[in-house]
Amino acid sequence: MSSQIVVPAPASATPEEEFLTAFERANLPSEYKQHYFAKRQNFHASIQGFPELWNLYLLLDKIILREFEDLTMRPDLKKLFPLFLYIEAHVKIRASMELALSVCLPEARSILRDGIEFVAHAHHMLKDPELQKTWLNKNEEAEAFRAAFEKDKKAGLFNGLDELHTKWGELSETGAHATINAVCQRYVQTEDDKGINFRWNYCGVDVQPLVLELFTMVTTFFKMEEMLFLDYEDRLKLDDILLGMRRDFETRKETLRRKLIAHFELKPPPSPLIVNP
């Protein structure tokens, strides 16, 4: 992996020169350049505006990478293939976070949903190693695959993963599937003396829902990492540095949770009304 020194843009640079490379400015058509510029600017603004959240995510990313390093050094061959699916889930986590920081939230949700599904498949195979053969032979034994991985997902594939199953369902409705919940934040309607106007935002959302969604995503990433740790705990519990990193993450996560609750003056949901027949 190479590194480079990033030279700050001169004070006289235009916003386009600051956020787009010379190659991008020369090769992107104007209508696409505007879209790409907005995403890039949002990405930078999110990192700069929410540094605690960004650093919390980076710590979790380091934790996951350390776990992969531990598990790929003299690996347990019987548990190696499910680990590949956990690595794929990490790829999804990174892509999802990049999109979320760029304020492309429905796309971020859709990819995060995919990542959760990879975690569920890996965990399912680790409970029953014979399922690795079923997974690998999907093209030849489609019915066996459907029975093992697709039929009644809550009781089968997501058995024991209640939180992840709930989040997977939410992300289906707010990102992956064509529903009103997936697009409502993008639609903006205003009215003036000329009539009703509307626009469709390809990216962008108000600050409070963005911050809360980013935090929720990081906690979901943590639940995915937690399953990785538990599935390979016999090996990972021997890494004292990793255990310290996980404790540090938990402390910082809860500290940030309290700060967000106080900053946005969030109230707990009302208790359900109990009606005695």
Distance CA(123)–CA(223), nearest Å, equals 13
**Distant-in-sequence, close-in-space partners of 36: CB < 8 Å, separation ≥ 6:** 20, 24, 28
pLDDT of residue 7: 39
Residues of the chain with pLDDT under 70: 1-13, 187-189, 199-200, 202, 204, 269-277
pLDDT of residue 193: 76
pLDDT tens-digit series, residues 186-227:
766 677 777 777 766 767 688 899 999 999 999 999 999 999
pLDDT of residue 94: 98
**If we measure between CA atoms, which residue out of 264, 223, 190 comes closest to residue 115?**
223
Residue 10, CB-side half-sphere exposure with 13 Å CA sphere:
2
pLDDT of residue 213: 94
Residue 157, CB-side half-sphere exposure with 13 Å CA sphere:
21
**Distant-in-sequence, close-in-space partners of 120: CB < 8 Å, separation ≥ 6:** 153, 157, 158, 161, 164, 165, 168
pLDDT of residue 274: 57
What 3 state SS string does 2-37 have? CCCCCCCCCCCCCHHHHHCCHHHHHHCCHHHHHHHH
- In single-letter form, the type of residue at position 170 comes to E
Residue 41, CB-side half-sphere exposure with 13 Å CA sphere:
13
The answer to whether 101 and 47 are in contact (CB under 8 A) is yes
pLDDT of residue 277: 45
User: Any bridge partners for residue 192, and if so which?
Assistant: 195
What tokens were used for 151?
Answer: 């039929």
